[in-house]
C-alpha cells in the first residue's frame, strides 16, 4: 500500500524496538583472537604496523591469555616465530618447536581456551614462502608431506583444531588422512579455502617475519578478481574433509562470504586481516573515524554477509564493547 500506510521508521523509533527487530547479532561467541608467539624469553614487542598487537615469548604469554580468558573469548589462533629457520621450515614439526611448546603451556594453564594452530611454513623458512621450493616455486606435493608431519606434531601437543593456510592443492585431504591414521579423528580442519593474494597482508608480515625473500605468493594464493574460483576451492576442500571453510581477507571480500553462505551449508570463518585492522587504527588515531563504532560495524558486516566465525585482532576490543552494552 502507498505512503502513509507503510512507515518503516516506526520500527526505528527507539533502541528497544531496534533491538527487537535487529536481523544480525554479533556475539563474543563468534570471535577468535590471533596471537603471535616468539621463541625466546622476556619478549613483549609491539608490532609497529599493528598498534596494541604484540609478539610474546611463552614466559610473557599469560598477560595476553589472562585478558582473553577474562573476556570469555572462546578460541585463539596461534602463529609461531621460531629462533631458527631453514629451507623447509622443519621447526613446524619439532616436538620442542615454538608452537608445540605454546600448545602445552596453554593447555596446562588455560584449559578452557580452544586452541587453533595455523598450519603453514612461511614464518619458518629462510625464503619466506609457504613450503618446499623447487626452481623458485613451491613444490605442492613435497609440501604436503611436510604438512602431514606438522599437523601430527600439533595434534600430539594438544591442538584442538588445525588450520592449513598455505593454499596447497589437496592439503585438506592429506591432513585428514594423516590425522585419522594417527588416531586424531576428532580434530577438525578449518581450511583457508578462499585465501586471496591480497595487499591487505602487509602488517602481518611484520608480525610473523614472513615476507618472501623473492617474488610473491600469487602462484598459490587466489587471484583477487575471481569469485567462481572461490566456489570451486571451497567445494574441493569440503569434499576433502574440511569442517570449516574460511575467506581471507574479509572486508574486501564480503561478496565471497555471501556467495559461499548461499551455496554451502558448512560453518564459514572470516579473517579480518592485519591491513584491515591497521587502517582502522590509523584512521582512529587521526580522529577521522569513530574507531569503536567502525570496529563493531565492520564485524557486524561479516556476520550479515554470512560468516559464523570472525578471526580478528579486534577481538578483545569487540568483547569489551559487547560486555559494556
29-70 confidence digits (pLDDT tens): 999 999 999 999 999 999 999 999 999 999 999 999 999 999
CATH superfamily ID and name for 26-324: Aldolase class I (3.20.20.70)
Could you tell me which of 114, 112, 72 has the C-alpha nearest to residue 323? 72
Interatomic CA distance for residues 220 and 313, integer angstroms = 25
| E strands, 39-125, in order | 44-46, 54-56, 75-81, 114-119
Name residue 244's beta-bridge partners: 190
Domain ranges of the chain: 26-324
What pLDDT digit, counting tens, does each position of 248-287 carry? 999 999 999 999 999 999 999 999 999 999 999 999 999 9
Interatomic CA distance for residues 282 and 241, integer angstroms = 39
The predicted structure's pLDDT at residue 212:
61
In this prediction the pTM is: 0.93
Cell numbers 596471537 label which residue? Answer: 35
Cell numbers 629451507 label which residue? Answer: 87
Asked about 248 being catalytic, the answer comes back as yes
Q: Residues 85, 148, 195, 281: which is the catalytic one? A: 195
Q: Residue 162: CA atoms inside 13 Å, Cβ hemisphere, count?
A: 33
Higher pLDDT among residues 137 and 152, named by residue:
152
The predicted structure's pLDDT at residue 142:
84
Instruction: Please report which confidence band the pLDDT of residue 133 belongs to, taking 50, 70 and 90 as the band edges.
Output: low
Asked about 227 being catalytic, the answer comes back as no
What residues contact 213, with CB distance under 8 A and at least 6 apart?
Answer: 126, 127, 128, 129
Judge whether 99 and 154 are in contact, CB under 8 Å.
yes
- Cα→Cα distances 228→49, 156, 207, 231, Å: 33, 37, 31, 5
Q: Residues 248, 281, 303, 316: which is the catalytic one? A: 248
The predicted structure's pLDDT at residue 214:
53
Higher pLDDT among residues 205 and 156, named by residue:
156
Instruction: Please report which confidence band the pLDDT of residue 325 belongs to, taking 50, 70 and 90 as the band edges.
Output: confident
Could you tell me which of 85, 125, 150, 93 has the C-alpha nearest to residue 217? 125
The predicted structure's pLDDT at residue 188:
96
The predicted structure's pLDDT at residue 83:
84
Could you tell me which of 210, 212, 169 has the C-alpha nearest to residue 193? 169
Interatomic CA distance for residues 60 and 39, integer angstroms = 11
Burial call 157-192: b when 16+ CB within 10 Å, e when fewer: bbbbbbbbbbbbeebbbbbbebbeeeebeebbbbbb
- Taking 80 as the threshold, does the pLDDT of residue 136 lie above it? no
Instruction: Please report which confidence band the pLDDT of residue 167 belongs to, taking 50, 70 and 90 as the band edges.
Output: confident
What residues contact 320, with CB distance under 8 A and at least 6 apart?
Answer: 71
Interatomic CA distance for residues 248 and 242, integer angstroms = 16
Interatomic CA distance for residues 138 and 296, integer angstroms = 38
Residues in the chain: 325
Tell me what the pLDDT averaged over the chain comes to: 91
The predicted structure's pLDDT at residue 84:
86
Instruction: Please give the average per-residue pLDDT across 90-100, as a whole number.
Output: 90
Higher pLDDT among residues 322 and 121, named by residue:
322
Amino acid at each position: 500500500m502507498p505512503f502513509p500506510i507503510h512507515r518503516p521508521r516506526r520500527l526505528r523509533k527507539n533502541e528497544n524496538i531496534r533491538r527487537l527487530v535487529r536481523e544480525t547479532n554479533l556475539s563474543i561467541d563468534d570471535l577468535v583472537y590471533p596471537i603471535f608467539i616468539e621463541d625466546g624469553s622476556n619478549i613483549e614487542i609491539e608490532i609497529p604496523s599493528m598498534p596494541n598487537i604484540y609478539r610474546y615469548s611463552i614466559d610473557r604469554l599469560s598477560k595476553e591469555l589472562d585478558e582473553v580468558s577474562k573476556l570469555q573469548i572462546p578460541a585463539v589462533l596461534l602463529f609461531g616465530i621460531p629462533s631458527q629457520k631453514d629451507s623447509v621450515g622443519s621447526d613446524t614439526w619439532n616436538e620442542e618447536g615454538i608452537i608445540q611448546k605454546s600448545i602445552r603451556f596453554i593447555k596446562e594453564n588455560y584449559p578452557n581456551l580452544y586452541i587453533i594452530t595455523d598450519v603453514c611454513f612461511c614464518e619458518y623458512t629462510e625464503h619466506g614462502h609457504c613450503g618446499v621450493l623447487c626452481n623458485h616455486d613451491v613444490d605442492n606435493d613435497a609440501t604436503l608431506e611436510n604438512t602431514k608431519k606438522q599437523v601430527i606434531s600439533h595434534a600430539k601437543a594438544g591442538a584442538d583444531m588445525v588450520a592449513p593456510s598455505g593454499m596447497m592443492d589437496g592439503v585438506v585431504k592429506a591432513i585428514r588422512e594423516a590425522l585419522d591414521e594417527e588416531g586424531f579423528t576428532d580434530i577438525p580442519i578449518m581450511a583457508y579455502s578462499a585465501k586471496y593474494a591480497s595487499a591487505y597482508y602487509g602488517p602481518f608480515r611484520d608480525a610473523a617475519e614472513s615476507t618472501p625473500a623473492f617474488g610473491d605468493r600469487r602462484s598459490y594464493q587466489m587471484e583477487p578478481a575471481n569469485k567462481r574460483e572461490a566456489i570451486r576451492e571451497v567445494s574441493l576442500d569440503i569434499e576433502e574433509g574440511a569442517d570449516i571453510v574460511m575467506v581471507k581477507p574479509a572486508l574486501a571480500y564480503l561478496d565471497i562470504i555471501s556467495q559461499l553462505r548461499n551455496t554451502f551449508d558448512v560453518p564459514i570463518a572470516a579473517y579480518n586481516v592485519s591491513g584491515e585492522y591497521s587502517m582502522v587504527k590509523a584512521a582512529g588515531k587521526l580522529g577521522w573515524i569513530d574507531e569503536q563504532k567502525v570496529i563493531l560495524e565492520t564485524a557486524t558486516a561479516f556476520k550479515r554477509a554470512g560468516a559464523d566465525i570472525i578471526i580478528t585482532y579486534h577481538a578483545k576490543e569487540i568483547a569489551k564493547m559487547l560486555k559494556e552494552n
